[in-house]
């Protein structure tokens, strides 16, 4: 149904955003932390969505899968994209977004 469509759209959107080259604008060079914030927010919202769908089912598998997805995207950047690279801090920001998203949404449902 619609939940599956939205889920696929979210996952694909995050993958595409990971593989895009960021704009080469001077203001972005000075705001290096904005990249980590974007990583955090993408995975915060992705996790929030899946927690709302699955509620309390298979929490460990859900969180592990999303954290692994973030790692996989970073590894793919390193292996398949010329102007992209693996960054530990991006993956850490992804993982923190997963954890914060989980606890934030779990508290509300």
Does the pLDDT value for residue 57 go beyond 80? Answer: no
Residue owning tokens 């990249």? 35
Does the pLDDT value for residue 10 go beyond 90? Answer: yes
Of residues 100 and 28, more confidently modeled? 100
pLDDT band at 85 (very low <50, low <70, confident <90, very high): confident
For Cα atoms 105, 68, 91, give the angle at the middle one, nearest 5 degrees: 80
Does the pLDDT value for residue 44 go beyond 70? Answer: yes
Is the sign of the CA dihedral 4, 6, 9, 15 positive or negative?
A: negative
Cβ of 72: how many Cβ atoms within 10 Å? 13
pTM: 0.86
Does the pLDDT value for residue 51 go beyond 60? Answer: yes
- Of 60, 46, 39, the C-alpha closest to 11 is 46
Domain of 8 in residue numbering reads as 2-108
Does the pLDDT value for residue 29 go beyond 80? Answer: no
Domain count, the chain: 1
Both tokens of residue 108? Answer: 């509300």
Alpha-carbon distances of 75 from 35, 46, 51, 104, rounded to whole Å: 17, 19, 25, 28
Q: How far apart, in whole angstroms, are the C-alpha atoms of residue 25 and residue 49?
A: 32
In this predicted structure, what is the pLDDT of residue 8? 95
Q: How far apart, in whole angstroms, are the C-alpha atoms of residue 73 and residue 79?
A: 10
């Amino acid at each position: 149904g619609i939940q599956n469509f939205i889920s696929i759209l979210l996952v694909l959107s995050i993958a595409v955003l990971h593989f895009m080259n960021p704009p080469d604008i001077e203001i972005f060079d000075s705001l290096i932390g904005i990249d980590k914030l974007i990583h955090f927010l993408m995975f915060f919202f992705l996790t929030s969505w899946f927690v709302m769908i699955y509620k309390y089912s298979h929490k460990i598998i859900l969180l592990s899968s999303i954290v692994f997805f973030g790692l996989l995207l970073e590894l793919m950047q390193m292996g398949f994209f010329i102007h992209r690279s693996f960054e530990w801090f991006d993956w850490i920001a992804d993982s923190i977004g997963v954890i914060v998203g989980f606890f934030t949404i779990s508290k509300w449902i």
